[in-house]
Structure 1
């Protein structure tokens, strides 16, 4: 993969803020032709810089009013146990984000559900039953003061 030039970096900055771009606006801002912009976008997609295009849905508008940050420790860090936990947790619809971490806990999850009852059901019937889970610690989100998908480069 070659290094990106200034125009490509600026194009990425613009697209990550709003992927429903106005091509006329982009031609002016980047001083490029329409076809050159489309070629750059296709290149960025093909090289994996742009992974996907999504709509960011307000969870509260669809009845998901309860967000929880969950720290999970495993009994063992044997590769097969870690891989199995990762496989199972990434298949759970309620898990919005999942990170393998170093330090006290092995994983940090962000879970989004309808309410406390739904969270309790998630913990007792889905997360706690995954083999090798030794500790689960939860922090309930009171207010989300910042959430961004934009990277600053």
Structure 2
């Protein structure tokens, strides 16, 4: 199992998961001010993942076609689909907490709080792992993690400041 995790963390999908997680966090921060039900939040995150995934799929396909002057082969679709899936996973990552709120295991406020902070933890961990797996020292990987963490913290801080 560790080999699969290490392989994933060493792939280009790391950046895509972080990108998706930031989109998911931004959506959660916006929804939290006037929260819909846990079920609606779950569906909203899934719908966002689908919409962003389709936009990513189309833009990657267009980029590939333009770069290769119209050449697109079915084998190219696997790489694009893996990238798109990574973005979608990043977006729906916090859905587990809203599903738990839907079935009454968590309160909705708790689900929003846990979703924000675990999302921040996810992008921090991915930032650090990406730094280490790219050969950076522990301190440089920590700086990289801190930089991506600042993005998520800014989202959370902005919401706290505005409301």
TM-score interval for Structure 1 and Structure 2 normalised by the shorter chain: under 0.3
TM-score by length of 2: 0.24
Q: Which structure features the higher share of helix residues?
A: 2
Larger RCO: 1 or 2 (CA < 8 Å, sep 6+)? 2
TM-score by length of 1: 0.25
Q: Which structure features the higher share of strand residues?
A: 1
Q: Which has the larger radius of gyration?
A: 1
